[in-house]
A and B are shown apart, each in its own frame.
Chain A
Amino acid sequence: MIFESHLLSMVVYAFLTALVLAFIRRRERKARLRYGLFVFLIMVGGALLFGWFMYLFTL
């Protein structure tokens, strides 16, 4: 069974998604790197923040 860690699954998912989106949305190498990093950080950071936000509503 691969990826039993949800965090690792999320990071790999964010990496591959950011890679594809960067190659679709930007044409220059530097711009791709910046955009890809931005998307990756937004996805991972956003998920972590939302995870902590949901922690407020635990029973």
Chain B
Amino acid sequence: MKTKAVVAPLLGWLVPGLGHFVQKKYLRGIIFFVSISAMTAMGLAMGGKIYPFYIEKPETILQVFTNLFKKENPLTLLAFFADLGNLLVYLASRVLHFGQGALERMTFEFGTAYIAGAGLLNYLVALDAHDIAVGKKK
């Protein structure tokens, strides 16, 4: 497998559109970067939440599984995977402590949906960068 086939999707996962940009697909790279970044920024401005991966420290093997459904709503696990799609923003949010979610604001739900939607779209964009690198797409 070509190095590009591994590097391009990883770069695309880290920063939206970067995987296309390094393959000289400049227009697509810019469109993806602007759209996905705008969605994330609007989501954060609306008070949306970036969900962390949270589980209690397990004491038995059974607790590894049961802890997944404790404390937090199990659906937040899905939200975590969606938010992880925007890797750089996710990592920055953990270090700089933003994206905590402003539950009291009426735009909280929509903001959270914007952030999750942006992450999910970025997975597709990163996969597209991989397809271009292996020659499946132009």
Contacts and interface: CB of A to CB of B under 8 A. Distances in A.
B35 A13 contact: no
A9 B113 CA distance: 10
B84 interface: no
A55 to B, nearest CB: 19
B70 interface: no
B117 interface: yes
Interface residues of A, number: 16
Given A13-B117, A24-B125, A4 B36 contact: no
B41 to A, nearest CB: 10
B37 to A, nearest CB: 10
A47 B38 CA distance: 22
A38 B29 CA distance: 22
Contacts, number: 51
Nearest to A24: B128
A13 B49 CA distance: 17
B45 A23 contact: no
Interface in B103-120: 105-107, 110, 113-114, 117
Contacts of A54: none
A6 B39 contact: no
Given A17-B117, A19-B31, A23-B31, A3 B128 contact: no
B45 A20 contact: no
Given A4-B106, A13-B110, 17 more contacts: A1-B47, A1-B105, A3-B42, A3-B46, A4-B107, A6-B110, A12-B42, A13-B113, A13-B117, A16-B35, A16-B39, A17-B117, A17-B121, A20-B36, A23-B32, A24-B125, A24-B128
Interface of A: 1-4, 6, 9, 12-13, 16-17, 19-21, 23-24, 27
